[in-house]
Structure formats: C-alpha cells, structure tokens
Amino acid sequence: MIRHRTTHNRITDAVLETLKHPFRRASAESFDALRDIDFEIPQGEAVGIIGRNGAGKSTLLKLLTRITAPTTGRIELNGRVGSLLEVGTGFHPELTGRENIFLNGTLLGMRRREILRRFDEIVDFSGVEQFLDTPVKRYSSGMYVRLAFAVAAHLDTEILAIDEVLAVGDAEFQRKSLAKMRDAAADGRTVLYVSHQMQTVLNLCTSAMFLQAGRLAYHGDVRGAMEHYRESFDDHAATQAEASRRPGTGEIRAIATSTDATYQVADTKVIEIELGENGASTLPYSVTVHIKDINGVSMTQCDSHLHGVWLDPQRAQSLTLSVDALWLRPGRYSVDVFVCRVGILDAWEGAASFVVLPDLPYPEPSPEGVPAEGVVLTDFSFDVRTA
C-alpha cells in the first residue's frame, strides 16, 4: 500500500492546511511489487536475478529467504537458506563478531558443533580475526559485509541468496566471494544472486531470470536474460521522458538532455542539460551524471559539486558537462541524469544516448577490431630498451 499526502516547504503552510482540512486523510493506492511469478530452480543451479531498478529483484529475494511473507501464492523451498541481502542482515549490533557467528548460525538452524566445525574457516575468510571480540556496531561497512558473507557462505545451508551488497567490499574480497559462490554451486548448493553487474552474472551463473515491472519476463540461459535486459533500455527511456513518471520529489526537474549521436574513442564527450526552476525553493542543488554501457554498468560518475558547481533553483539554467580522456570501447552508451540535494529531486535514466565508433585511436590495426579485455580503452605507450 502506497500512501500519498501533500507536502509543504514551510511549517506555516502545513499548519494552515491542517486547520482548513482537519479531517483530510492521506490517499492510498494498492501496489504489487511482484505479480504472476511462477518458476522452479533445480538443486545446484547458480541463478542470476537481473532487471532495472524497481523491477522487484530484492523483493523476490526477500520472499525466497522468508524475510517477507507473500500476500498470495506459495513458495516451496527444499533446504535451509543462508542469505546476505543488506549490510548487517541477521546480526545484532551489540554482540561481538564471535557471538554473531553463533547467533547467525543458530538462526539458520545449525547446531553448535556444526558452527564450531566451520568457525575457523569463517574467521579466516572474513579477515576480521583481530576484531572478533569487538561489538559489530563498531565495524566498518566493509568488515560487516565480509563477516556476514563468510557466515552465509560457509555454514551448511542448501540455498545461498546474495544481493549485490558485495559491492561494499574491496576488489580482492569480491574476487574471493565470487569464487566461493562458484564453489558452492559446484558442491550442489543452489545460489541466487541479484546484481546489476552483467559480467559477474555471466561468469558466475548457469541460468538467469529477468524481471520487468514486477513480472518474470524471461527465465533461461544467461545470455538470453542479458539480451532481454538490453532490449528493456529503450522502453524504459521512453517512459522516463515524461517528467511526472520519473522518481524524485519533483522540486526541480531536468527538462532536456542532449549529446552528439556519435563520438570517436578519444573524443571529449559533451552532454548538455537544461534544468527547470522553482520559485518556492531557495536551497542550491547539484547534478550528477552517470554514463553506462549497454549492460547497464556505470563507466563513470560526474558530480557537479566536486567542482564546486551548485545551481540556483529560482532560475532556469543550462549545464554543460565535458568528459575528457575517457576512452570508451566502441559501442552504445546511455546517459542518466540525477538532480540532487540531500535526496533525489529528479532521476532521469536513459536521458540521452550516444555511440562510440569502432575506429581505434592506435597507430596499428588490431586483428580482432577491438581489444577483447578491459572496461575502457587507454592512452598508453611502450618503451623498449636494449638489455
């Protein structure tokens, strides 16, 4: 159930509204995060769950891990579920890391001797041995995630459910975690993995589900799910063109976003953004731009406030973003625009797009056309010296 109520910028307006309409109640509408979903996952399958923001991925994982109960339908699970859906899931902040390992294991239905058998592996994998007897409320988010994942991955559960909270960890820990999930699937455990990182899903998962607007649009091989995900970009961008359908408070909206249709690899990418005005607002705001590849992976994030650029809400303004020295690989890219203050005023995904042409900026041709590895191309050189 989603409730709607009138918001005010000043407390005097809110008081006057209450005095004028003392019995007015907030309106509400029914909203189903997931609808008509039916699937079966074989034991030992590593399944990627992908989709755009708001598609219902995290909700599905919460239902499968019994954190949330379904309002209709039935879920049948064969075995115990170990999960890591958000930082601190299943941990008590006042307890130490050691105590939380036993608490989490007990909640998963483990006996003390089962937990003791895996205890040293959990501690070694997490890398928090030095702080094992420190209350976890004093842990950094990275330490929290490392210990929570170590517990979920090492205890003897038949199903392992992971949301993309692993992005909090460093690169080495992410590599270890993916290897552990791969080993878990090889050992016959079922792995459910939610992520926006398509390359990770491709490397880890044996099948995938694509969710769109709360429905299961595809369930099959990973490449097929990724193709459906790519095709959804144009449809989503078309719906986002109408400002009233976009997320955000709407206090300030981006009116138009434009860029050149094509670029060479080494060109400066220039993005023009037109912003509206709001005479009732006085606090300055900033703009953040994400450039994403065809798989939805963010190549770069450009925040205006990092250059001290804040905008006046009482005037309509134009903003020009110039991105230098970003050698994107040939292909299609989309531009997301976010108008920000403390929260999000406007979130325009797919505000514009451009294509990087397949002409490499190197003096010699490549037999394959494009180097196969790497997220971006780089300006590099080699210096040969005789021994």
Domains of the chain by start residue, with CATH? 2-31 (no CATH), 46-233 (3.40.50.300), 245-356 (2.70.50.60)
Scan for tokens 């949330």, then name that residue: 68
Q: Yes or no: say if 50 and 208 are a contact pair by the CB < 8 Å rule.
A: yes
Query: What integer pLDDT is reported at residue 233 of this predicted model?
Result: 76
pLDDT band at 31 (very low <50, low <70, confident <90, very high): low
Most confident stretch, 28-32, 151-155, 346-350, 357-361: 346-350
Query: What integer pLDDT is reported at residue 3 of this predicted model?
Result: 53
Q: Yes or no: say if 58 and 194 are a contact pair by the CB < 8 Å rule.
A: yes
Q: What is the dihedral of CA 308, 313, 318, 321, to 10 degrees?
A: 30
Cα separations in angstroms, 46 against 25, 188, 196, 248? 47, 10, 16, 35
Q: Yes or no: say if 34 and 214 are a contact pair by the CB < 8 Å rule.
A: yes
Pull the structure tokens for residue 352: 């514009």
Rounded Cα–Cα distance for residues 372 and 379 (Å): 16
pLDDT 10s digits, 170-201: 667 777 888 888 888 888 889 998 887 777 78
CB atoms within 10 A of CB 149: 27
Rounded Cα–Cα distance for residues 120 and 220 (Å): 38
Which residues does residue 208 pair with via DSSP β-bridges, in sequence order? 48, 220
Amino acid residing at 57: K
CB atoms within 10 A of CB 85: 20
Answer with the residue of higher pLDDT: 188 or 306: 306
Amino acid residing at 382: F
Query: What integer pLDDT is reported at residue 275 of this predicted model?
Result: 95
Query: What integer pLDDT is reported at residue 25 of this predicted model?
Result: 65
Pull the structure tokens for residue 10: 């000043």
Rounded Cα–Cα distance for residues 211 and 177 (Å): 24
pLDDT band at 19 (very low <50, low <70, confident <90, very high): confident
Task: Give the helix, strand, coil percentages of the chain, each rounded to 5.
Answer: 30, 25, 45
As to burial, measured by CB atoms within 10 angstroms (0-12 exposed, 13-18 middle, 19+ buried), residue 128 is: buried
The enclosing H or E element of 2 equals strand 2-4
Rounded Cα–Cα distance for residues 174 and 192 (Å): 16
Q: The pTM is what?
A: 0.68
Has residue 252 got a pLDDT over 70?
Answer: yes
Mean pLDDT of 123-137: 90
Please state the length of the chain.
387
Backbone angles phi, psi at 89, to 5 degrees: -60, 125
Q: Yes or no: say if 179 and 207 are a contact pair by the CB < 8 Å rule.
A: no
Q: Yes or no: say if 207 and 48 are a contact pair by the CB < 8 Å rule.
A: yes
Average pLDDT, the chain: 85
Answer with the residue of higher pLDDT: 47 or 165: 47
Pinpoint the alpha helices (H) of the chain.
11-20, 57-64, 97-107, 112-126, 141-154, 171-186, 198-204, 222-240
Lowest average pLDDT, out of 5-19, 203-217, 304-318, goes to 5-19
Scan for tokens 């409320």, then name that residue: 137
pLDDT 10s digits, 59-84: 898 888 888 888 888 999 888 887 77
The enclosing H or E element of 192 equals strand 190-194
Pull the structure tokens for residue 60: 């599905």
Mean pLDDT of 36-45: 89
Has residue 1 got a pLDDT over 50?
Answer: no
Tell me the percentage of the chain whose pLDDT exceeds 90: 36
As to burial, measured by CB atoms within 10 angstroms (0-12 exposed, 13-18 middle, 19+ buried), residue 346 is: buried
Rounded Cα–Cα distance for residues 252 and 95 (Å): 44
Answer with the residue of higher pLDDT: 98 or 55: 98
pLDDT 10s digits, 135-147: 998 988 788 888 8
Pairing of strands 344-356, 262-263: parallel
Q: Yes or no: say if 121 and 129 are a contact pair by the CB < 8 Å rule.
A: no
Has residue 169 got a pLDDT over 80?
Answer: no
Mean pLDDT of 40-49: 90
Rounded Cα–Cα distance for residues 322 and 319 (Å): 10
Mean pLDDT of 107-134: 88
pLDDT 10s digits, 274-301: 999 998 888 999 999 999 988 888 899 9
Amino acid residing at 43: Q
